[in-house]
């Protein structure tokens, strides 16, 4: 699929790599009798250091909101033994989350980075993106597991196109703070754009997370 580029473009996928966030090596539960311990709520093979090092440091310094509780709730929905993964399983946890403190928005708006990878492991990837007015993603799809995103601030427009005929627009919807949407390749590809007059902030959730087990 050839991406459609615009002058002011945000690439969700490259945003992941651009952070350079490192992650502590995962800790595995090696089974009974090994003397190793794993927090009892965690499924096997989930890294105990759930947040990326960069996200953890930014939260500790008050530079981004504390998403740790939300990320743990998202992780709890995952059973590594389940046969398939879908970002839809995050909806319940995500619907309950919103910015309650205006200071949280200010933290994201003032941060020099426009995207933050909060979690990136084998099962889950969570990314926070700030979009300047008029800024848009490339045209892209989400394969296995799809993507759920939620608008935390501002107004974004999502345009959907047929995956096998990107010139064919299927839908165009406007989302405001608190709105969520799901998409995968069976539903089409999409472009996300900030159509407001102020920066917008969105959170994007993916499963599986795409990171190989360490
Ligand atoms: Fe997307």
Alpha carbon of 106 to ligand 1 centroid (Å): 24
* 3-class DSSP state of 107: helix
Are 146 and 181 in contact, with CB atoms under 8 Å apart? Answer: no
Buried b (16+ CB within 10 A) or exposed e, 155-177: bbbbbbbebeebeeeeeeeebeb
Alpha carbon of 75 to ligand 1 centroid (Å): 20
What distance lies between CA 79 and its chain's CA centroid? 19
pTM of the model: 0.79
Alpha carbon of 160 to ligand 1 centroid (Å): 10
Distance CA 38, CA 174 (A): 43
pLDDT at 80: 85
Phi, psi torsion values for 71, nearest 5 degrees: -65, -35
Nearest CA to 118 out of 50, 201, 43 is that of: 50
Alpha carbon of 141 to ligand 1 centroid (Å): 6
CA distances, 123 to each of 91, 126, 142, 174 (Å): 16, 10, 15, 29
Alpha carbon of 71 to ligand 1 centroid (Å): 19
| Residue written as token pair 């900030």 | 194
Alpha carbon of 17 to ligand 1 centroid (Å): 15
Distance CA 118, CA 155 (A): 22
Alpha carbon of 41 to ligand 1 centroid (Å): 30
What domains are defined for the chain?
A: 53-206 (2.60.120.10)
Q: How many C-beta atoms lie closer than 10 Å to residue 180's C-beta?
A: 16
Alpha carbon of 190 to ligand 1 centroid (Å): 6
Sheet containing strand 115-120, strands side by side: 115-120, 125-131, 200-206, 147-153, 180-183
Alpha carbon of 182 to ligand 1 centroid (Å): 9
Alpha carbon of 40 to ligand 1 centroid (Å): 33
pLDDT tens by residue, the chain, 214 residues: 444 444 445 555 444 333 333 333 333 323 233 334 444 444 445 555 799 999 999 999 999 999 999 999 999 999 888 889 999 999 999 998 877 788 999 999 999 999 999 999 989 999 999 999 999 999 999 998 999 999 999 999 999 999 999 999 999 999 999 999 999 999 999 999 999 999 999 999 999 888 775 5
| Cβ-Cβ contacts under 8 Å for 61 (sequence gap 6 or more) | none
Half-sphere exposure of 18 (CA within 13 A, CB side): 13
pLDDT at 96: 85
Distance CA 134, CA 200 (A): 10
């Amino acid at each position: 699929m050839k991406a459609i580029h615009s002058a002011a473009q945000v690439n969700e996928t490259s945003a992941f790599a651009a952070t350079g966030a490192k992650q502590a090596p995962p800790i595995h539960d090696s089974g009974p009798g090994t003397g190793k311990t794993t927090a009892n709520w965690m499924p096997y093979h989930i890294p105990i250091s759930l947040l990326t090092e960069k996200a953890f440091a930014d939260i500790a310094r008050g530079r981004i909101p504390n998403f740790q509780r939300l990320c743990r709730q998202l992780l709890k929905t995952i059973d590594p033994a389940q046969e398939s993964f879908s970002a839809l399983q995050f909806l319940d946890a995500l619907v309950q989350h919103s910015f309650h403190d205006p200071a949280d928005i200010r933290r994201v708006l003032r941060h020099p980075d426009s995207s933050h990878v909060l979690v990136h492991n084998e099962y889950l990837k969570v990314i926070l993106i700030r979009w300047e007015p008029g800024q848009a993603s490339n045209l892209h799809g989400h394969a296995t597991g799809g993507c759920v995103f939620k608008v935390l601030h501002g107004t974004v427009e999502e345009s959907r196109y047929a995956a096998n005929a990107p010139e064919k627009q299927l839908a165009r919807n406007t989302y405001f703070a608190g709105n969520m949407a799901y998409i995968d390749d069976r539903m089409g590809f999409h472009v996300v754009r900030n159509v407001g007059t102020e920066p917008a902030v969105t959170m994007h959730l993916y499963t599986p997370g795409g990171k190989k087990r360490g």
